[in-house]
Structure 1
Amino acid sequence: MKPSQLAKGFKARPDTTSSEKRTALDRLNAIDGIVDIQSVGQAANGRASTFVSDEQADADVSTESEQFRAWRRANRYTAGQVIELPLKAIKASPFNPRHFYLKASIAELAVNLARQGQQQAIHVIPDYDNAGTFFVSDGGRRVRALKEANKETVKAIVVDLPIGIQSYKLGYDLNVQRDSQTVFDNAVVWRRFLDEQHFQSQRELADHLGLDESTIAVALSVAKLPENVMQEMVARPDRFGSNMAYQITRYHSARGSDATLRLINKITSDDLSTRQVADIVKGRASGQEVPKPPGRQRYAQRMEIKLDGVAVGDLKSYGEDRLELRLRGLSRDRRDELLRQIETMLQFNEEKK
């Protein structure tokens, strides 16, 4: 079997284990048997396919499930075909590999989709018990952004997978290939898999996913963190990979949530390495206090800034003469527009003097 086109250019996250990389690539090589990559290319060019004849639809049914074959024939669908579906017919899968979705990221994607249209089809699985509805297998961010952009339809490829661990693997592998799967998503979802007894042990889960048991163990330890603590790290996957998250978990066990949130801020502001954080964790365990970063000053006032109803940053005042504006998650056009407005305002104030 030829290597999957989805696997080309695969770059693993820095904290991804070697077994995780190999397994993701191995499974990605099999995705060509599920998804017609050429149809994805057609979707990228804005040419969504239409329903075809029964003869075309029945061209290759050797590996189809009976449920999918019946659905496909009833809807005159060809495997790999890109079709338009109502957004209201799309719902989240209970086996979604993603748990965290950043509001600022969704808002930025919504702006891009509103301007450029949907360039890549999502993957969906029919809900055979509720005709006309579909579970998202891959593309949850695009669905959320399309809804925020007030779109009514989505380009989709219908895949023949049962909702369960198999559909989870497909979404997980695609996310790993894009570097968008985080240890925090894994922590929440893998913990739920064990709690709901989809697997009887972390060893069974590791074997089924083809990962080292240590990878599972680290994620399950991270799952002990409160969700608000994880949320503070999700937005910075470059700073908070699995090794850093594990150190944060150890720190939280000893110091609690408030101290942990302060440490997360310190890691970001002081650009601490995992080794430095490990040293802090050891100091905390022995009761030693880590001094606050020099020069840190408590703000006098803070105003949250929202654009289109989404929080994108804040404006803080310090002492008698300092004002600090911080904005994140903006599109390039929005950022440049705001910069021009600020420059115009400052020039106007200078001219008035």
Structure 2
Amino acid sequence: MKPSQFAKGFQARPDTTSSEKRTALDRLNAIDTLVKNDAASPSKLTPKTTTMTAPADNDDANESPEYRAWRVTHGYTPGQVIELDLKAIKPSPFNPRHFYIKASIAELAVNLAKQGQQQAIHVIPDYGNPGTYFVSDGGRRVRALKEANKETVKAIVVDLPVGIQSYKLGYDLNVQRDSQTVFDNAVVWRRFLDEQHFQSQKELAEHLGLDESTVAVALSLSKLPESIMQEMVARPDRFGSNMAYQVGRYHAARGVEATLRLINKILSDDLSTRQVADIVKGRTGPQENSKPVGRQRYAQRVEIKLDGASVGELKSYGDDRIELRLRGLAREKRDEILRQLEAILLPAQ
């Protein structure tokens, strides 16, 4: 099958190598450093017709012609924090995120109302519609600012094409932050195929640098109603790819209402993926409506995070039982935790 026109355009400006991807990420990280070191109040963007002085980083040779023309016209220095009207900001059609948790947005809106915006978003000019910008990074902050009834947003204007390159960069950043979900992938990747940006699942996997089975699992979830996906998006610690896949199989056989009951059961009874797979195989079995004999509901649950990423949970049961589960730890961190637990629990020798 012939590659799509979208894929051909991507091949003309490849960004598939790890070194190039790292360079792009490092550039955005460097921009964030500039933001932290910048003055407290951003400058307002004012149109300018005279040619500006070359930027200090002397990196204009790598700029796209569109971006260079835009920044010269507006007197903009790369990395500069400016203040834009929120009404001029719009989501990118290649935003890797589809789902935003309302409670999380509301919480961030409260913080922004109290403390103000501390970190600038990244935007890309819509060269076809002057005065408007696509969000490259910061969609959650934009939503929270609107929730907080703000009228402006601090932003850095970056030089990226709106397309697969901007998608991949945003995707990589979200994966690093542990904020990209399989449900976002399901919706966005299905749209990529439906709009014929890619001609096949295989082509999509190749251009994203992912295993085809990973793409296949995500696309299988795109058949789920968004109401069901919304229920799982809020609990990424419980609904990873494997668990979501089993829920998708159950939905295909039992429908929406039964699937919503299953999701509630997974959360209330702390079911494992294996247990859910057994329920799926039973399909009409009575286990859907009955709790396992002798299973005890925890009294308290605390999520444990390291460097901002969830690594496990601590649960307490009744008056005499606690349960600690940790995963994905570096060996050094695991050994350190074990030594500390031994020091607490074992008597001195």
- TM-score of the pair, normalised by structure 1: 0.72
CA positional deviation for 1:167: 1.1
For residue 168 of structure 1, report the CA deviation from its aligned partner. 0.9
**Pairing partner for 1:54 from 52, 55, 60:** 52
Which deviations, in whole Å up to 9, do the C-alpha atoms of 1:29-68 show, x marking residues without a partner? Answer: 432345624223236x745357798214383211111110
State the one-letter code of the partner of 1:41. Answer: K
- C-alpha distance in structure 1 between counterparts of 2:145 and 2:282, whole Å: 47
Letter in 1 for 2:86: L
Higher RCO (CA 8 Å, separation ≥ 6 residues): 1
Partner SS, residue 62 of structure 1: helix
Q: Distance in 2 between matches of 1:111 and 1:168?
A: 29
**Cα offset, 1:289, TM superposition:** 3.0
Contact 1:40 1:121 in 2 (8 A): yes
Give the direction of change, closer, same or farther, for the CA distance of 1:37–1:271 in structure 2 (3 Å limit). same
8 Å Cα contact 2:89/2:132 also seen in 1: yes
In structure 2, the CA distance between the partners of 1:71 and 1:176, relative to structure 1 (3 Å rule), is same
Give the structure 2 partner of residue 158 of structure 1.
157
Q: Pick which of 167-176 and 108-117 moved more.
A: 167-176
Sort the Cα spacing of 1:263 and 1:23 in 2 relative to 1 into closer, same or farther, 3 A.
farther
Count of residues in Structure 1 that have an aligned counterpart in Structure 2 = 271
2:96 aligned with 1:97: yes
* 1:248 and 2:247 aligned: yes
Distance 1:161 1:250, change over 3 A: same
CA gap of 1:281–1:191, structure 2 versus 1, over 3 A, is same
Q: Is 1:84–1:155's contact at 8 Å kept on the other side of the alignment?
A: yes
Quote the Cα distance in structure 2 between the aligned partners of 1:253 and 1:279: 15
Partner of 2:112: 113
Identify the residue that residue 35 of structure 2 maps to in structure 1. Answer: 40
Alpha-carbon shift at residue 84 of structure 1 (Å): 1.1
> What pairs with 1:141-220 in structure 2 (closer than 5 Å)?
141-220=140-219
Aligned-partner Cα distance in 1 for 2:64–2:17: 24
> Does residue 73 of the first structure (1) align with residue 68 of the second (2)?
no
Whichever residue aligns with residue 237 of structure 2, its letter is D
- Aligned position for 2:24: 30
User: 1:292 — aligned with what?
Assistant: 289
Query: TM-score normalized by structure 2?
Result: 0.73
Report percent identity of matched pairs. Answer: 73
Does 2:216 correspond to 1:232? no
Q: Does 1:262 align with 2:261?
A: yes
Unpaired runs of 5+ residues, structure 2, are 1-15, 293-349
SS at match of 2:53: helix
Distance 1:233 1:211 in 2: 23
* Paired residues of 1:91 and 1:133 also in contact (CA < 8 A): yes
Is the 2:94–2:167 contact (alpha carbons within 8 Å) kept by the matching residues of 1? yes
CA offsets, 1:192-251, max 9 Å, x none?
000101111111111111111111000000111111111111111111111110010111
SS of the counterpart of 1:30? helix
Q: Which residue of 2 aligns with 1:272?
A: 271
Q: Is the Cα–Cα contact under 8 Å of residues 42 and 48 in structure 1 kept in the other structure?
A: no
- Given that 2:24 and 2:169 are in contact with CA atoms closer than 8 Å, whether structure 1 keeps it comes out as no
RMSD: 2.3
Measure how far apart 1:253 and its partner are.
1.0
- Partner residue, 2:128: 129
Q: 1:24 to 1:249 in 2, by over 3 A?
A: farther
Closer, same or farther in 2 for the Cα pair 1:29/1:57, shift >3 Å? closer
Q: CA deviation at 1:283?
A: 1.1
Task: Give the whole-Å Cα distance in 2 for the aligned partners of 1:183 and 1:258.
Answer: 22
Q: Contact 1:24 / 1:173 at 8 angstroms: preserved in 2?
A: no
Instruction: Output the CA distance in 2 between the equivalents of 1:151 and 1:50.
Output: 16
**Aligned-partner SS, 2:131:** coil
Letter in 2 for 1:282: K
Please state whether the residue corresponding to 2:135 is helix, strand or coil. strand
Gaps of at least 5 residues in structure 1 are 1-21, 296-353
CA distance in 2, matches of 1:158, 1:291: 52
